[in-house]
Structure 1
Amino acid sequence: MQKTLVVLVYTRTGWDIKNVTALLPLSVLYLARPLSRAGFQPVIIDQRIQPDWAARLAELAPQALLVGISAMTGTQIAWGLKAAAVARQAAPATRIVWGGIHPSLLPEQTARHPLVDFVVRGEGEITLPELAAALAANEAPRHVAGLTWFDGETLVQTPDRPRLADLSEALIPDYGALRVEDYLTTQTLGLRDLAITTSRGCPNGCRYCYNLPYNGRRWRAQPAEQVVEHIAQIVRRFGVQGILIKDDNFYADRRRVEAIAAGLKSRNLAVTIRGECRADYIARHWDEPFLDYLRNNGFREMTVGAESGDDKTLARLGKDITVADIREANRRLGRAGIPTKFTFMTGFPEESEAARRRTIDLMLELTDANPTARLTPLHLYTPYPGTPLFAEAVAAGYRPPADLAEWAAVSFHNLDLPWIDRRLSRKLEKLSVATYFLDRQTVAEYFTGRPLIQWAARLYSRIIRWRARRMFLSCMPETALINFYRQRH
């Protein structure tokens, strides 16, 4: 009797709190429906919220046709290797298939690892069911596009599979494949929310972003009417009040956004939408009537990729925005009453101490000028293979990890960038921790319904803002405590 069970593992990210930061595992959830339609039985194991994930995987692996693992660079690879080791020990004959951004960018290197049997390059909605069918028929999958593996010592790479042209159904998950209640959070203005995506890719050319090699600056989207219908279904089915849109560039098509807003209004959907947007869209192309229209039709929170407070750094990153754009976007959004979360990065090659200082100053300035502005923690730049900035990092002396196990160790604590010495690394880690609390609100809102934690977070925020203005961050013993909490969750 042929096996039909396909186990899909979503790995830990390093900052995983159930109903707080752990969002829907969309990368594996999107695979459940096409697998079911092809006659297979998908089961999702989520390491972030299932403490017994290893026992569950060991139980299912012997019954499975394959175990699929989705991973991004760093922590997710480390936990993916742990899952693969459990599966291999429990069922040596069960194939282990890796997919996601990192394996797609470095398929040959990934496939060399002994705990990897196949790599799915790019989107897996068609490739994985076809691979499963070939394995079920005991056939070599050489006819399946988008695969990389080793046949003995011989590398096998089948032709690239074109990206999905039609996302009409691909971005509507099979919610029956998991318990949705486990993934409801309060990240959208403290409301009961759920994460979805409505598009893939980005037309812009940020030189550090995985989208350049992965999507080739191509942006694809669901039609507006299907987005509205999807939102209506999950509002009705799960009682959500907020929609957290995880697109790389939700606002790339203004007409589509207007159509979605009109659809939400026509169906009287009292739901709050939060999505990613570029500063130049807002500062250069969106007037106040349009922002008012968005706010009045549910678009009450945005995330804006600012990345730096230094114009030279922004130019090197290929952001095609200026600090003036960021300030103007903040002003317009503040006037429109749309709370905004700004993202920032640091640790770039040739980034000066003065440039970092300007970034911290801008973070403080934005929250001073706009009480509704929020900040994400300061992220450390990670060179992504295939991006223009990766080549520059290598030219500057960066030695990329040589295999999958080395990539698993990449983190804030272990990112070997030659332009960042140990002293600067410790300083940047403290800056990252400090910026979690810089806006007075973000961490507190994560813990809606936990008043003691909220009170402590707001008090700590006042202290951190005072210290950040003076860059008095050399002595931060609380960093160890916060990192311990993050590792526990």
Structure 2
Amino acid sequence: MRVVLSAMPWHAVHRPSLAVGLLNGLVRRDRPEAEVVEFHGGIRWMEFLLSTGELGVADYVDVAENGVLHGTGEWVFAGGLYDDPGWRVEEFRAYAAERDIDISSLLRMRDLAQPFLDEAAAEILAAEPDVVGFTSTFMQNVASLALARRLKRLRPSIRVVFGGANCDGPMGAALHRNHRFVDLVVRGEAEEVFPALLDRLADGEDPADLPGVCWWDGERPRANPQATHAVPPAMISSPDFDAWHEAFASSPVREHVTPELLIEGSRGCWWGEKHQCTFCGLNGSMIAFRAKPADKFWTELSDLVERHQILDVVTVDDILDMGAFSTLLPRMAESGWDLRVHYEIKSNLRPAQVEALAAAGIAMVQPGIESLSGRVLKIMDKGVDGAMNVRLLRDCEDNGLTVTWNYLYGFPGELADDYWGVIEQLGALVHLQPPSGAVRLVLERFSPYFERPELGFPRRAAAAAYAHTYDLPDAELDDLAYFFDTDEAGISGPIVEALDAALNRWKRDYPYSYLTVVDRDGEVLIEDRRRGRPEALHRLTGWRAEAHRALSRPRSSRAVHDHLAKHGHAVERSAVEAWLAASHRDGLVFRDGASWVALATNGAPHRIPEGAPR
């Protein structure tokens, strides 16, 4: 049996497809007699764009990184799916005009999609496959469907199999029953099912008893119930990236992007098992947290790095396993390797844990900060408050960790007062890493907001972008969609404009702003060189110096007073509160509700302003 595994646009071309790498390793392990060929559609599509001399890497990246909520990448290939270059062009023009989206490069890509798909089909058919598997997440659906339709038309004997996050739950069943050329869909985790499915195909048997598989019983679509148990870590194979690396190394694309490796240390979310964030649907139907043993993960990581000589590594884990601080991270630190690793973390880490991340080569973190208002964070069920989030930003600055985060708004029950108090303090935070921007939350399938309409979003319909991509009735789009339109909640109007303006100023001023502290000889010296504030040097002595030390972590005024008493300072509570208020006016502390936290960093890191020559 010959199996082609395909990752179509808009997969990030500087990274291998983890799904393809895992499936390749899985097939080689469980069906060694099978021959596996990989088709890296993202690389091929970027090569196709470069060959025109009109479009390039920036055009691809813009769609891949910024187009998901509007489905721009899906629309590019929709004409190829329906063999109609003019498919819903005018509808999309109107949609884009309402949202101020420039579609000039998208229109040119639309013209190129069909000839690219013809070339892709020819390349895959030349491999003489028995089975072609497509992995689909976010904007990979339509390009995959368009290519699958061509393959089945040209060679009907090929068995087309879909899987991936876009196939979880009702989405996979809808994708299958509405596209007759898709023979099978695997819903849920594939480790147990995919090898068994290949066995059934080899033996000419139907998959009636395989969990989660959608299949055709004659002309009748069948959807087997998904598995209710999670795949244990021991069953998760190591990814095989050899074919991707060969394709990347031999492609002109390599001259335009820096390669990164992907690796998986865990699945699910240990926080979400207890308190799933109200807006998050990323774990789909299986949120149970499982982590690979540290030895297994380190072996996989070190083998991949040594094999491919790539030090930039992105983990796809939704959250860092807290056990890693005593097992994995010390081992990474002891290796002495110059790794640059990305991890998603929870934002309540202690300073020593942030230091451990940096020592282990974790260079970038995505902490899921989302807000600096404790009340809004409580609505999200994040388990942290604004002061904790600010402390993490400060500690990451101290340790040279790059932080990526968005400021979310639009939550049922939030109030303007939840934002005005934060906005008034943002000018004091310009020495810390700003968010990418302010984003209104989007209703996602599998999130508590989706599963429980009573939480605040009773009306929902498949996002408008799906209607100008698929030729399907509304009821089918509602099953196929991951993103949904709903009535806006929370803040709007002037408060949103004020938040946007404040965050833009933060991003503008960050490269030039510093607030540093030196603690020596019993006094605390704080140098303020933040844009938008007068330069100043604050000298704290006595109990005030100790109070500032106490605010290395969030504390209430009572807790600060108690701390001072334990350290031998007899001072009235009212004096402590007056000092906190004065420090707040000077922008030396951040306040969220009853919690206060110090803002100064221990050093002034070197920064390169965006757009500056390097």
TM, length-normalised to structure 2: 0.58
- Out of 229, 234, 239, the position equivalent to 1:173 is 239
Asked if the contact 1:168–1:222 (Cα under 8 Å) also holds between the matched residues in 2, the reply is no
Asked if the contact 1:68–1:99 (Cα under 8 Å) also holds between the matched residues in 2, the reply is yes
**Range with greater deviation from structure 2 (234-243 or 128-137):** 234-243
Structure 1 residues 352-373: Cα deviation after superposition (integer angstroms, max 9, x where no partner) = 677677888888765x132xx2
Extract unaligned runs of 5+ from structure 1.
185-189, 443-461, 463-489
Structure 1 residues 184-219: Cα deviation after superposition (integer angstroms, max 9, x where no partner) = 9xxxxx986422221111112112223565223x21
Q: Counterparts of 1:23-172 in structure 2 under 5 Å?
A: 23-37=15-29, 38=31, 39-51=33-45, 54=117, 55-61=119-125, 63-73=128-138, 75-106=139-170, 107-114=172-179, 115-151=181-217, 152-153=219-220, 155-158=222-225, 160=227, 162-167=229-234, 170=237, 172=238
CA distance, structure 2, for counterparts of residue 360 and residue 96 of structure 1: 52
Alpha carbon RMSD of aligned pairs, Å?
3.9
Distance 1:209 1:301, change over 3 A: same
CA distance, structure 2, for counterparts of residue 94 and residue 364 of structure 1: 60
**Range with greater deviation from structure 2 (264-273 or 373-382):** 373-382
Q: Counterparts of 1:249-398 in structure 2 under 5 Å?
A: 249-250=319-320, 252-253=321-322, 255-280=323-348, 282=349, 286=350, 288-348=351-411, 366=429, 368-370=430-432, 373=433, 375-376=435-436, 378-379=438-439, 381-390=441-450, 391-392=452-453, 395-398=457-460
CA distance, structure 2, for counterparts of residue 397 and residue 141 of structure 1: 37
TM, length-normalised to structure 1: 0.71
Asked if the contact 1:224–1:260 (Cα under 8 Å) also holds between the matched residues in 2, the reply is yes
CA distance, structure 1, for counterparts of residue 360 and residue 285 of structure 2: 33
Q: What is the match of residue 521 of structure 2? A: none
CA distance, structure 2, for counterparts of residue 61 and residue 431 of structure 1: 50
Q: Considering only CA atoms, is the larger Rg found in Structure 1 or Structure 2?
A: 2
- Relative contact order, higher structure (CA 8 A, sep 6+): 1
**Counterpart of 1:177 in 2: which secondary structure?**
helix
Shift of 1:409: 8.2
Shift of 1:220: 1.0
CA distance, structure 2, for counterparts of residue 120 and residue 440 of structure 1: 48
Query: Does structure 1 residue 12 correspond to structure 2 residue 9?
Result: yes
Q: What is the match of residue 419 of structure 1? A: 488
Task: Report the residue type matching 1:70 in the other structure.
Answer: T
Shift of 1:5: 2.0
CA distance, structure 1, for counterparts of residue 397 and residue 378 of structure 2: 26
Structure 1 residues 70-92: Cα deviation after superposition (integer angstroms, max 9, x where no partner) = 2234x222323222222232223
Asked if the contact 2:232–2:290 (Cα under 8 Å) also holds between the matched residues in 1, the reply is yes
Query: Does structure 1 residue 182 correspond to structure 2 residue 248?
Result: yes
CA distance, structure 2, for counterparts of residue 215 and residue 383 of structure 1: 18
Asked if the contact 2:40–2:244 (Cα under 8 Å) also holds between the matched residues in 1, the reply is no
Asked if the contact 1:142–1:158 (Cα under 8 Å) also holds between the matched residues in 2, the reply is no
Structure 1 residues 20-79: Cα deviation after superposition (integer angstroms, max 9, x where no partner) = xxx221122210112223132222223321126622334424832222222234x22232
Task: Report the residue type matching 1:202 in the other structure.
Answer: C
Structure 1 residues 338-360: Cα deviation after superposition (integer angstroms, max 9, x where no partner) = 33222343455566677677888
Structure 1 residues 354-402: Cα deviation after superposition (integer angstroms, max 9, x where no partner) = 7677888888765x132xx253455553323333211328853212364
Instruction: Name the count of aligned residue pairs.
Output: 409
Shift of 1:120: 0.8
CA distance, structure 2, for counterparts of residue 364 and residue 44 of structure 1: 50
CA distance, structure 1, for counterparts of residue 357 and residue 393 of structure 2: 16
Q: What is the match of residue 268 of structure 2? A: 201
**Counterpart of 2:486 in 1: which secondary structure?**
coil
Structure 1 residues 255-299: Cα deviation after superposition (integer angstroms, max 9, x where no partner) = 32332222123333232322111112x1xxx2x344333323323
Task: Report the residue type matching 1:94 in the other structure.
Answer: I
CA distance, structure 2, for counterparts of residue 133 and residue 122 of structure 1: 18
Once the two structures are aligned, what percentage of the paired residues are identical? 20
CA distance, structure 2, for counterparts of residue 84 and residue 181 of structure 1: 21
